[in-house]
Amino acid sequence: MSEPKVFLLPDLGEGLTEAELVHWLVAVGDEIRVDQPIAEVETAKSMVEVPSPYAGTVAVLHGEPGQTLDVGKPLISVTPAGAAVVEPAASPVVEPAETEDAAAETYREEEKAGSGNVLIGYGTPGGHGVARRTRAPKRAAEAAPVSRVSEAETAADDLVLLRTRVPGKLGAVISPLVRRMARDHGVDLGGLQGSGASGLIMRRDVEAAIKPAPAVERRVFAHDGAPVPALSADSTTATADTDARTGLGIAGRTAVRGVRKAVAANMTRSRSEIPEATVWVDVDATALVELRAALKKADPENTPGLLAFVARFVTAGLKKYPALNTRIVTTEDTTGGASQEIVEFDGVNLGFAAQTDRGLMVPSVRNADKLSARQLDAEIRRLTAVVRDGKATPAELGSGTFTLNNYGVFGVDGSAAIINHPEVGILGVGRIIDKPWVVNGELAVRKVTELTLTFDHRVCDGGTAGGFLRYVADAIENPGSALADM
């Protein structure tokens, strides 16, 4: 009986350390081929399908949909084609924590026997021959204890799997842990409706079906030492999902993971490291609105959006005020002390905020300073579609040098935005609305928007920030002359 090959979750790009398992594309017992997609996972950057470097029979799926998996940890075990299939209950023993790094290193060597398929930082290079797995011998006393399952339990487990299997789809129960939990608590999986994809029965479904244990009375004492009467069964049930601080019922809980987890970490780091300041100005955008209307009338199919024009003005402004197109890098000197330097860039990668179903994403237009308004418009539209489909690459999401945020689409006028670390500035554009405005000494109704610039005070002072903001505002108010000079 051949030992299954264990495929470890690869690094999916730019040193990401974890990924959320969205759903399995295969089930235990399925025959798979090399490069066949086996799972769909979501990282902080994008959603991708992971192909298998092995052909054979799926022996074990290491994880459940919704679970966060660490890079370098087991993802799937595959029994090689032509070998006897190893039962799930007899899956390989998980190595102790101190040998996991060695297993991950061995995995990188095993990849060399793959097909050549490449997936964002991970691939099977297509080496010749068969890579063999070597492992240092372990004494019996050092081996981790293994829980044994009787043949009767294994047979019952397999019967449950067959009863809940949906032909052509994922098994309604995949995880051996879930099946074992159901068996131990007398839960009939055949009668459960799974809450996962394709009716997949999750651990939470089994837990919900398990009869709750009787409440244990706990004696509570007041400050004077007198016992407080215990809650009745009814009151205990009523307060089980009540927030202790507010006394309000808890309507739901959402795990912070994936894109939301990455955004939270980046914004927290930005606020903790960057001494930011904000300046803003109201701008008469009437001339820009009229210019675009005239262009649209002449060429309805090839007219840039207003954001593309603003993006063009921003890239020109960053050339004039390059301090806002930099990055602060901390380095360690020979004495062990830390020093900082401001790194300037030869070009502008303009990031822009795009709201998606997965959260706020910031793709960047590379070398935006070399593009016209029409070219910027086309690239903004392309990247917006890519991030909403979850197909953006790490390079498209992590290479910006300055960010443009059009929060006017949400119907708001202004916002003191958080800088997208490690950048040093972000410009926000509010909605364009009719407002009273003084023109040549007379009151008139004009199209007015608000620009807000948040900048890192370590790289420049208010004079530079104000100069850049005024440059962009003047270009919006006089777009014809501004574009003629660009």
Residues marked active site are found at 457
The one-letter amino acid code at 441 reads G
Three-state secondary structure along 20-67? EEEEECCCCCCEECCCCEEEEEECCCCEEEEECCCCEEEEEECCCCCC
List beta partners, residue 277: 455
Q: Is-contact 429 307, C-beta < 8 A?
A: yes
Kind plus residue range of the DSSP H or E element containing 284: strand 276-284
For residue 426, count other CB atoms closer than 10 A to its CB: 28
Strands 364-365 and 350-352: antiparallel
What's the rounded Cα separation, in Å, for the pair 467 and 138? 68
Smallest CA-to-CA distance from 198 within 175, 164, 169, 160 is with: 169
Alpha-carbon dihedral sign for residues 231, 237, 238, 242 = positive
Residue 48 Cα to chain centre, angstroms: 11
Counting Cβ atoms within 10 Å, is residue 134 exposed (0-12), middle (13-18) or buried (19+)? exposed
Cα distances from 53 to residues 13, 64, 77, in angstroms, run 17, 21, 11
